[in-house]
């Protein structure tokens, strides 16, 4: 029997039609409700994935960035230590050169008086004292020893000049003679003792290890001692070098300094509250540390401990890895706390520097970010649940009240709620993949728009947080750029045009180190027959040295141009010395070679203010016979001693002869092993390359290429400056 639902009265048909419409609407509504629930589950799942992914990304980013900063910081501070020790070594070489000259040229110096060590033990800063060993006091000072003391007391000037660069450092300078006396200068005031019976200290440096080590070395060598405790309990190291006269050992020149005060800036906590900085020597002993107590503190006993033998295996393994000579990072557990360790070698003394920060402090920002993300994610989940039930209630209400338009309402509801949810879910997926610039553009004027705004705010805050982590690296890059600009300005002040001349061939070059330095050269015509030539090297590095260099160059050129007597170059240098000494509170100085060439006769008058002696050779010959120019006296550096009188010297250049001028960056260029280029190699290269009528430019280029070959990629530590002037006749 067939049933016809639309058979009957109009009322029945209407009821059937309405019932059919309601059934269809309910069916459609159920489908929409199921789709909405599936969308809800998808969005909730993606929100959790986004929260976990963002948290993992943040944690990994912070750990990677921190380990990079740790290794970079360790390398920077290790290089800082190495540069300072290398600078001290250069100061020692300057002192030993002066000592050798005094020893081997006594006729140039008067005997001087040096105050004996004060009986009350109170030492005055920058004052040199005489200390006698117990043996010497017992047998008395012979006339020959007294004469030697008076002669060597001339070291006072160079010791006092260099000591000004060590103000406020616990540092001492001394010359310890093999005959039992010592010349001693301490950089700071020392109160001594209130005991009225205080006697001269029973101090004989000849019994110290640094003295015996230096005595075993040849002339020109410097010896850096191991750390040891001095007679007042300070942990110190000594940089020493032997002195010889006619091949006979006569004593040791040295600089001693306390590790407790030499590197305080290295101990600053730059990475966080838990930051620890320390260094070990090649025996595995801690020589300085920012930790006052604990496993990484300096031992208070004179027998320092090798921490490679520490019962803490994590620490001993980490120190062994440090001492392989490479830089890097590792993890270590100290006193129950887990740390990240960045380490790097300090080549000059054979030390190893390390900096640590706790894993807890590194992960603290990541945990905070993860907490924020999870809080936002949980809030998002709660809002999604609430939104789902609200929309379901609205759907039921619409079914009850508006049955006639149920299908229309259900479709509109689907369009109103499902499309924004899908947009929201897709946006959250993209954010979870790491695109923090993604913004959700949902304009529904309801909770969905509020949720989209919450997600946008969350990604903005997370991006800002990550950008702040990179700010420190950007600041460092800016500082480096400013230093590069300063170096370009400095190099731009040097003459680069080398005009052709029928009498002379001039060429100069300066290869600057990475940092701003103090080398400069200059040449300029004074009249038709005279050319002024200058090459100089300012003490120190950085912006102060560059400013002093510009001042020195300007003063010397102005005085030369104003001078009417081109034969008396010493007077020009005397006036420049007086002007540079004024307002020179930092006691900076400059070594200068300054001369004026008569292009008609080839006669060259010059004065040397403590600069490297030039070489001369006949470049038109196949056997050029390059050799160093010699002079009877060597003058002081310019700018450290007022009213000093420099000497004028003369030589005559023959046609084909060339004068080669240079700064110590040439002979002190180093290869990867730390070996110096040396004066001997420079002389040998000039004899090989500087011949057969080459131009000044060709000869300087050949020397520059040989220096590059010798360095073999090693980092340049000083400016390399050369100037050549060839007399054509």
The structure tokens listed for 291 are 């930790």
Distant-in-sequence, close-in-space partners of 471: CB < 8 Å, separation ≥ 6 = none
- At residue 196, the pLDDT reads 37
Q: What is the pLDDT of residue 225?
A: 80
The predicted structure's pLDDT at residue 670: 94
Architecture of domain 493-727: 4-Layer Sandwich (3.60)
**Residue 93 Cα distances to 252, 590, 659, angstroms:** 12, 16, 26
Which DSSP helix (H) or strand (E) runs through 589? Answer: none
Report the candidate in 339, 237, 326 with the shortest Cα–Cα distance to residue 291.
339
**Residue 141 and residue 153: Cα distance in Å, rounded?**
15
Q: In the chain, what are the domain boundaries?
A: 493-727
Residue 278 to residue 74: CA distance in whole angstroms: 10
Specify the pTM. 0.43
Query: Given the structure tokens 């590194």, which residue do they identify?
Result: 362
Cα angle vertex 728, ends 722, 729, to 5°? Answer: 135
Query: What are the distances in angstroms from CA 145 to CA 124, 132, 169, 178?
Result: 26, 11, 32, 11
CA distance 77 to 68: 14
Among 247, 203, 252, 245, smallest CA distance to 223 is for: 252
Assess contact for 238 and 85: CB atoms under 8 A.
no
For the chain, list residues with pLDDT below 70.
Answer: 1-22, 25, 29, 32-33, 35-37, 39-48, 50-52, 54-55, 121, 188-202, 230-234, 260-272, 299-304, 366, 374, 377, 381, 403-418, 421, 469-470, 472-490, 514-516
Q: In this predicted structure, what is the pLDDT of residue 33?
A: 66
If one counts every other C-beta atom within 10 angstroms of the C-beta of residue 263, the result is 20
Q: What is the pLDDT of residue 193?
A: 44
Instruction: Please report the pLDDT score of residue 669 as a whole number.
Output: 94
Q: pLDDT tens digits for 254-266?
A: 998 877 665 665 6
* Neighbouring C-beta atoms of residue 232, cutoff 10 Å: 8
Nearest-10 Cα torsion for 50, 52, 55, 59: -130
Give dist(CA 156, CA 173) in Å, integer: 10
Provide the token pair at 89: 């070594």
**What is residue 676's DSSP assignment?**
B
Rounded Cα distance between 204 and 192, Å, is: 19
**What is the C-alpha separation between 98 and 159, in angstroms, rounded?**
10
Residue 242: exposure state from Cβ atoms within 10 A (0-12, 13-18, ≥19): buried
């Amino acid at each position: 029997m067939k049933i016809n639902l639309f058979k009957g009265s109009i009322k029945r048909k209407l009821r059937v039609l309405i019932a059919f419409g309601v059934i269809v609407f309910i069916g459609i509504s159920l489908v929409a409700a199921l789709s909405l629930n599936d969308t809800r589950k998808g969005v909730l799942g993606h929100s959790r994935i986004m929260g976990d992914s963002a948290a993992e990304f943040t944690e990994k980013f912070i750990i990677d960035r921190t380990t990079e900063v740790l290794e970079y910081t360790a390398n920077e501070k290790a290089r800082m230590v190495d540069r300072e020790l290398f600078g001290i070594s250069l100061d020692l070489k300057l002192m030993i050169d002066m000592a050798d000259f005094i020893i081997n040229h006594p006729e140039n110096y008067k005997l001087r008086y040096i105050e004996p060590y004060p009986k009350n033990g109170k030492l005055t800063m920058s004052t040199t004292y005489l200390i006698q060993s117990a043996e010497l006091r017992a047998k008395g000072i012979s006339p020959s020893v007294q004469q030697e003391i008076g002669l060597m007391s001339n070291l006072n000037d160079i010791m006092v000049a260099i000591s000004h660069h060590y103000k406020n450092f616990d540092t001492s300078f001394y010359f310890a003679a093999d005959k039992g006396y010592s010349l001693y200068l301490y950089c700071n005031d020392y109160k001594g003792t209130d005991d009225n019976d205080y006697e001269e200290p029973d101090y004989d440096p000849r019994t110290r290890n640094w003295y015996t080590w230096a005595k075993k070395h040849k002339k020109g060598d410097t010896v850096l001692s191991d750390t040891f405790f001095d007679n007042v309990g300070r942990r110190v190291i000594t940089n020493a070098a032997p002195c010889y006269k006619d091949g006979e050992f006569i004593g040791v020149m040295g600089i001693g300094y306390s590790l407790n005060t030499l590197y305080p800036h290295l101990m600053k906590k730059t990475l966080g509250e838990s930051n620890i900085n320390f260094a070990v020597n090649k025996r595995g002993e801690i020589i300085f540390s920012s930790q006052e107590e604990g496993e990484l503190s300096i031992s208070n006993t004179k027998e320092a401990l090798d921490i490679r033998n520490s019962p803490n295996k994590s620490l001993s393994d980490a120190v062994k890895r440090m001492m392989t000579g490479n830089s890097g990072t590792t993890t270590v557990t100290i006193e129950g706390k887990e740390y990240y360790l960045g380490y790097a070698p300090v080549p000059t003394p054979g030390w190893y520097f390390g900096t640590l920060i706790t894993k807890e402090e590194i992960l603290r920002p990541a945990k905070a970010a993860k907490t924020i993300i999870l809080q936002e994610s949980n809030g998002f989940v709660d809002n999604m649940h609430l939104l789902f039930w609200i929309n379901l209630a609205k759907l039921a209400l619409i079914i009850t009240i508006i049955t006639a338009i149920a299908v229309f309402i259900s479709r509109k509801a689907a369009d109103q709620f499902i499309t924004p949810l899908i947009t929201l879910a897709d946006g959250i997926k993209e954010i979870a993949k790491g695109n923090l610039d993604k913004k959700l553009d949902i304009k529904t004027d309801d909770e969905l728009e509020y949720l989209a705004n919450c997600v946008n705010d969350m990604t903005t805050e997370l991006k800002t947080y990550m950008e702040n982590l990179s700010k420190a690296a950007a600041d460092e890059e800016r500082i480096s750029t400013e230093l590069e600009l300063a170096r370009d300005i400095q190099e731009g002040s040097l003459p680069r045009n080398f005009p052709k001349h029928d009498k002379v061939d001039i060429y100069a070059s300066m290869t600057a180190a990475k940092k701003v330095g103090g080398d400069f050269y200059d040449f300029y015509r004074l009249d038709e027959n005279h050319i002024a030539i200058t090459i100089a090297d300012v003490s120190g590095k950085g912006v102060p040295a560059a400013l002093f260099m510009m001042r020195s160059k300007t003063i010397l050129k102005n005085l030369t141009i104003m001078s009417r007597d081109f034969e008396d170059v010493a007077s020009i240098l005397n006036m420049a010395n007086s002007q540079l000494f004024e307002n020179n509170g930092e006691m900076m100085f400059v070594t200068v070679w300054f001369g004026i060439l008569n292009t008609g006769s080839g006669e060259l008058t010059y004065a040397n203010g403590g600069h490297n002696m030039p070489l001369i050779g006949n470049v038109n010959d196949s056997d050029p016979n390059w050799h160093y120019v010699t002079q009877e006296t060597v003058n002081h550096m310019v700018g450290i001693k007022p009213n000093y009188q420099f000497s004028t010297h003369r030589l005559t250049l023959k046609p084909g002869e060339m004068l080669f001028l240079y700064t110590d960056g040439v002979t002190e260029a180093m290869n990867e092993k730390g070996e110096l280029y040396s004066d001997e190699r420079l002389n040998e290269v000039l004899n090989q390359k500087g011949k057969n009528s080459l131009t000044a430019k060709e000869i300087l280029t050949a020397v520059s290429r040989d220096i590059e070959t010798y360095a073999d990629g090693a980092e340049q530590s000083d400016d390399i400056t050369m100037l050549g002037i060839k007399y054509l006749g």
